[in-house]
Amino acid sequence: MANSEYLLSHQDLVKAVIIYQNIHEGFWRLNINFNVVATHAKEVPDPCVAVSIHGIGIMQAGPTDEMAVDAALANPEKIVPAASSVQFCRDVYRHVEVHLDDAAKPVSATTAVDMRTQFK
User: What average pLDDT does the structure give for the chain?
Assistant: 79
Residue 1 has pLDDT above 70, yes or no: no
Q: 54-90, pLDDT tens digit by residue? A: 999 999 999 999 999 999 999 998 877 665 555 555 5
Count helices and strands in the chain by DSSP H and E runs: 5, 3
Average pLDDT over residues 41-63: 89
* Number of Cβ within a 10 Å radius of residue 65: 12
Angle at 43 between CA 40 and CA 44, to 5 degrees: 45
Q: Which residues pair with 35 in a beta bridge?
A: 52
Position 47 confidence tier, pLDDT thresholds 50, 70, 90:
confident
Q: What's residue 42's pLDDT?
A: 79
Residue 61's contacts (CB-CB under 8 Å, 6 or more residues apart) are 27, 28, 29, 67, 68
Residue 39 has pLDDT above 70, yes or no: yes
| Range from 13-22, 28-37, 67-76, 93-102 carrying the lowest mean pLDDT | 93-102
Position 11 confidence tier, pLDDT thresholds 50, 70, 90:
very high
